[in-house]
Chain A
């Protein structure tokens, strides 16, 4: 659909030529890997399958976009970027696997990393699952504690008086500083990790919830009172709903802190998880595995953030138009 109004997000909708170039660039990366002789002696089949699958997926999306104008717009908007990715992969492949200018083990080529991901898939999967479990248990614990303390200090003067200074002071300490204490306090690395991530997320959630509650417009309380509301109603049906946008801001911040704390705490004390895996691979100078786990982290964390954004957009749909 051609529209005179420029889409603020997908503002490159007319890049049909670039889309063809993007598909061609992915095929070229594949051709480079297949045709240029291999210097490093890497099993490049997984990488070739990956590139082939990527090219086929692009073509399939393009076919599907015949029925969806918005999909086509998005696809064309991304075309230049995909093109650049294809070129980068080809150049990287030439510099590493095909010429050994970037040497092993520290600078593996894309084929090497993909191969390692396939070969190590079981251990990587287990590590990812362990990390995700730790992450969610820690984040949910911390967020729950943050919600409770945030409501208490936002609503009750006494709680505010006693707890707010504590949160303010301890909240500025990076959670990883507690690692030595966590190791002593908790029987195993999992509970210690949960503790650290809970600490990392607790304060930002508590702080945002309490400020969301205290910033509730006085008029809302007055309206509710003249409608017959008692204190519980004012707190749970007026103040807390008003704090929901803040809660999301707090949880987003907490999520970021938690990623950091998760990996650092796993690198230091744990016997499993992606952080542990990176450290272990580093010990063996297996940098291809390090890169592989970094890529998995990027994907996993991006998915978590995307889910958070989607649920935020849904729950805060009443806000659309007010903010933006």
Chain B
């Protein structure tokens, strides 16, 4: 996070209101400011209706705000572009295309398939789906489909990869497996990644910064830095302390009548996890 003018992605005073058919309005995002630096892994977490997906869609250019500015590398974000890859909760693979054809879609859409054909195999390798190149989406599992969706976005070498609860519909084992894969991809490619999730562990395990959001109106309530070094361990004390802290914050954000949580700095780090 930086407050400088030269952030990689710069979000200023964004407002987004939705109107339903009866004219009733929902404030999805209110006066949101955020900076994302190049190469960061940032997570958005919050109760449903907090506007985290809306924010991600705005960054992608799939939606536009009523007011405020949104820039990437100093240029306003307009229409969707291959520079901002997006992965949906439902993999949304094209069912009539095989795994490799799905992954190649971006190259074909940009008319660079001929030159970059070889990349398809490279990304199939990266997501570990060798042997499934010719399979159709209905023949593979949900976790595999999501891997394909990630490779499909990565093949364009996007400047930022936007992940909209991509693991939300998967079982626990597949989730953890894919969390590791995404971490490795991030380390290998250095792509900036923004992840929307409702899983606190996932946010802590994967990201540098966790943006905690509140609902109605959708706002950023706090940005937590994840200062875990080395291999992240879900049972590590620092991990547990952070988890408790984020959970406390989320309960508050959810509107539960709870006392203000102890600030993170005052919590015991490195001690007995149970004592906190």
Q: Is B275 part of the binding interface, using a Cβ–Cβ cutoff of 8 Å?
A: no
Which of these, A222, A228, A320, A321, contacts B109 with CB under 8 Å? Answer: A228
Q: Which residue of B lies closest to A315 (CB)?
A: B96
Residues from 221 to 244 in A contacting B, C-beta threshold 8 Å: 222-230, 233, 237-238, 241-242, 244
Q: Does A256 contact B (CB under 8 A)?
A: no
| Additional 14 contacts, C-beta under 8 A, given A224-B105, A228-B82, A318-B136 | A222-B80, A223-B152, A225-B80, A226-B80, A226-B162, A227-B109, A228-B109, A228-B156, A233-B108, A237-B108, A241-B97, A319-B96, A321-B138, A321-B139
Interface hits, B91-132 → A, CB 8 Å: 92, 94-98, 105-106, 108-110
Is A319 within 8 A of B95, CB to CB? yes
Q: How many residues of B contact A (CB 8 A)?
A: 32
Q: Which residues of A contact B95 (CB under 8 A)?
A: 318-319, 322
CA distance A92 to B90 in the complex (A): 61
A220 in the interface, Cβ–Cβ < 8 Å?
Answer: yes
Kindly state the separation between the CA atoms of A227 and B156 in the bound complex, as whole angstroms.
7
When distances are taken between beta carbons in the complex, the residues of chain A under 8 Å from B61 are: 226
A228/B62 in contact, CB under 8 A: no
Q: Contact check, A219 vs B96: say whether CB atoms are below 8 A apart.
A: no
B109 pairs with A230, CB closer than 8 A: yes
Whether A226 and B62, one on each chain, are in contact in the complex, defined by CB atoms closer than 8 angstroms, is yes
Within 8 A of A (CB), among B127-174: 136-139, 149, 152-153, 156, 162
Q: Which residues of A contact B62 (CB under 8 A)?
A: 222, 225-226
Q: Among A217, A226, A227, A321, which residue has the most Cβ atoms of chain B within 10 A? A: A226
In the bound complex, how far is the Cα of B81 from the Cα of A229, in angstroms? 8
Interface size class of A (residues with CB under 8 A): 20 to 34
B41 at the binding interface (Cβ < 8 Å): no
Tell whether A318 pairs with B88 under 8 Å between CB atoms, given A227-B105, A227-B106, A237-B109.
no
Chain A: residues with CB nearer than 8 A to chain B? 217, 219-220, 222-230, 233, 237-238, 241-242, 244, 317-322
- Nearest Cβ in chain A — how far from B132, in angstroms? 14
| Contact residues in B for A228 (Cβ distance below 8 Å) | 81-82, 106, 109-110, 156
Give the Cβ gap from A227 to chain B, nearest Cβ, in Å.
4
Chain A contacts for B162, CB-based, 8 A: 226
Instruction: Please give, as numbers and ranges, the residues of chain A lying within 8 Å of B219 by CB-CB distance.
Output: none
* Chain A residues closer than 8 Å to B139, beta-carbon distance: 321
Contacts of B80 in A (CB 8 A): 222, 225-226
- The one of A223, A229, A242 that contacts B86, using a Cβ cutoff of 8 Å: A223
Contact of A225 among B79, B136, B152 (CB under 8 A): B79
A226 touches B60 (CB 8 A): yes
Complex Cα–Cα for A217 and B91 (A): 12
Among candidates B81, B84, B109, residue contacting A224 with C-beta atoms closer than 8 Å: B109
- B46 in the interface (beta carbon within 8 A): no
Task: Find chain A residues with CB under 8 A from B47 CB.
Answer: none
> Closest 6 interchain pairs by CB?
A228-B82, A227-B106, A225-B80, A229-B109, A226-B86, A219-B92
Whether B138 and A318, one on each chain, are in contact in the complex, defined by CB atoms closer than 8 angstroms, is yes
Q: How far is the CB of A129 from chain B (nearest CB, A)?
A: 36
Q: How far is the CA of A114 from the CA of B62 in the complex (A)?
A: 68
- CB–CB A222/B86 < 8 A: yes
